[in-house]
Amino acid sequence: MGSECHHADGAHPGLKGHALTHALGAAETRCVATQERLTAPRRRVLELLLEADGPQKAYDLIAAFREHGEPAKPPTVYRALEFLERLGFAHRIESLNAYVPCRHDGGEHRAAFLICDCCGAAQEFEPDFTAQLAAAEAAGYQVATITLEARGRCAACRGG
């Protein structure tokens, strides 16, 4: 947390208990529906992302993975993150070089993030890029991905 933060820890909590179980079950259901496998390492990385109170760097996930008392090997976690991104279960926040779970249930969407410069929280939202995509298409360009990261202070850090 930044030195200027004055709010209590836990202002942006990850999923716990029933909410975590439900999110992991929904991911499993989506994998079955798309004939993909949510292997144990993929599930563990998704669980760590869902439980986290903020964006997680790959090496934090590697250290937290702990399979039989040992941290995971880096390729295991990186392959899991690649899978989770490809299926839309997680997003990479470029400016932080960190990952967050997708907070939207299924379906393709254009994610954007509000990143707090004080506590480091990243809130996902779905912006309306209709005009920008139409302009790109009119120019003959097909947009594959859009990354929008807005920085500022969250309500908790602003005292609201």
Write the pLDDT tens digit of every residue in 52-65. 988 999 999 998 98
Place of tokens 């991104």: 85
Question: DSSP of 7-26, one letter per residue?
Answer: SPTTSS----HHHHHHHHHH
Q: Is 46 exposed, middle or buried (0-12, 13-18, 19+ CB in 10 A)?
A: buried
User: What residue type is 64 in one-letter code?
Assistant: A
- Whether the pLDDT of residue 24 is over 90: the answer is yes
**What helix, strand, coil percent values describe the chain, rounded to 5?**
40, 15, 45
Give the pLDDT confidence score for residue 82 in this predicted structure.
97
What is the Cα–Cα distance from 111 to 79, expressed in whole angstroms?
Answer: 21
User: What residue type is 17 in one-letter code?
Assistant: G
pTM to 2 decimal places? 0.83
Give the pLDDT confidence score for residue 49 in this predicted structure.
96
Give the pLDDT confidence score for residue 11 in this predicted structure.
60
- Whether the pLDDT of residue 83 is over 60: the answer is yes
Write the pLDDT tens digit of every residue in 132-143. 999 999 999 998
The CA-CA-CA angle for residues 87, 51, 124, to 5°, reads 55
Nearest to 49 by CA among 91, 18, 6: 91
Q: How confident is the model at residue 1 (pLDDT cuts 50, 70, 90)?
A: very low
How many residues can be counted in the chain? 160
Instruction: Cite the DSSP H helix spans in 34-129.
Output: 40-51, 58-65, 74-86
Give the pLDDT confidence score for residue 147 in this predicted structure.
79
